[in-house]
Structure 1
Amino acid sequence: MSDPVRGDVPEVEDGPEYDLNFRANPERYRYTSDERGAFKIEPYKSELFPEWTISDLDSANSGAEAIYDRYCEYREAEDFVGMDMARKYLQMGWTRAMRYAKYPGGRKYEDDDGDRVERDPQRWYDEEKREIALIYKEYLDSVREDDAYGRAKTHLRREE
């Protein structure tokens, strides 16, 4: 049986697990290196999503900084789920902005007579989105290099 909390099914499938407060039930959280759960895991989604944006450079800079500040708060509280969710939002800012930086309209694929065809990336189609991606990447790297994050991730994996 698949478990959406473990991350072994697509995020589009909802289940009763997403009705959980993961701060109160951190043992139900399963680490994944990707961005799965970013729009589902509460209360973190409600805390982080309002900060997340790639619309323009000023907003993205403020948003990335706010998400990183939340990460620091979660770290101080020894809340690995929050730390990892902040990492997911920073990673999502980097990957989404980079896609817009390389592809017109952020569209990596186009329909060619009903077939899904990957476009060739343009280097750099949107310079502002590239700058936004680099801002998010800087904060993301800070999280990934944080010893407290590494220890907490290792601890969680041992318990699984």
Structure 2
Amino acid sequence: MGPRCHFWILANTLDRGRHSSLGPSSDCAPERRSECPSEWCRVWNYLFTSVVAQIWKSGFAYVANLPVSNFIEMAKHQPSCVDFKKESYRWKGDVDYRKHPELYRIGKGEQGVLTVEPYKSEIGQHWRFKTPQVAEESAGKIFSMFQKYLKERDFVGADMAKKYLNMGFTRSRRYANWKGGKKWTKSTGGQDKQECGWRLQVKGSGSAEKAECAEIFKKYFDLARADKTYLQMKEMWKKEIEGK
């Protein structure tokens, strides 16, 4: 029995479960609607129709490698940046993190990559992925900056350089997966107001050239995040600065 057959059994089991132990769906019988936790049902239906469809289409192996943000986006039916709140963002654009490195926090993924100065200006000017050749030059330059920051014992700079390599990979993949790099498009809908909102575009309509760019950045990103000096500095930073 293949993974999709197992998934089909699981999906039917879960679908039955949402009408019993997990609570009825929004289209449940009138006599049971009073028991229905509307917020839960709304989220469940989004997850069931969006995430489950993606699993069925691509298989478990693909979905297992998706970041959590992808599931959150699919559940909300909108890109994560829509809910971005600048005032509560931990990284501030008006802080000189070279002068005040103690204010820097590692965070997750690429957080702070477009905010933390002066590293944003120093590294960002070299960040390109138009073609594989451009991507190789860009990633190579940023990796050399990463090594330079390590030699200077500048952890913030090294961490930011690593994040730019990561962003080169993720952004290139976005252009490889979706035409024009647009994962979502804004739909104005028609007369039906329910059709308004964000729509996830068809995956696989992007550029094969950008997939090659992504692999180039990933090669350097993997080297950076596995660097022993970087890992030692990161561990010390977490203990001494972030208190973790």
Fold shared per TM-score above 0.5: yes
Structure 1 16/36 Cα, relative in aligned 2: closer, same or farther at 3 Å? closer
Amino acid at match of 1:18: G
Structure 1 15/153 Cα, relative in aligned 2: closer, same or farther at 3 Å? closer
2:184 maps to 109
- Cα deviation code 1:103-126 (max 9, x no counterpart): 01111113342221212311x731
Q: Point out which structure has higher relative CO (alpha carbons under 8 A, 6+ apart).
A: 1
Give the unaligned 5+ runs of structure 2.
Answer: 1-82, 190-195
Matches within 5 A, 1:137-148: 137-148=218-229
Give the % identical residues.
36
Q: Does 1:70 align with 2:145?
A: yes
Structure with more of its chain in helix, by fraction? 2
RMSD: 2.2
SS across alignment from 1:98: helix
Structure 1 103/153 Cα, relative in aligned 2: closer, same or farther at 3 Å? same
Distance 2:174 2:120 in 1: 22
Kept in 2, the 8 Å contact 1:11–1:36? The answer is: no
2:217 maps to 136
Distance 1:134 1:45 in 2: 23
2:11 maps to none
Q: Does 1:28 align with 2:103?
A: yes
Give the unaligned 5+ runs of structure 1.
Answer: 1-8
Q: What is the CA distance between 1:11 and its match in structure 2? A: 7.2
Match of 2:135 among 53, 60, 63: 60
Distance 2:91 2:237 in 1: 22
Amino acid at match of 1:137: K
Q: Max radius of gyration: which structure? A: 2
1:5 maps to none
Q: TM-score, normalised to structure 2's length?
A: 0.57
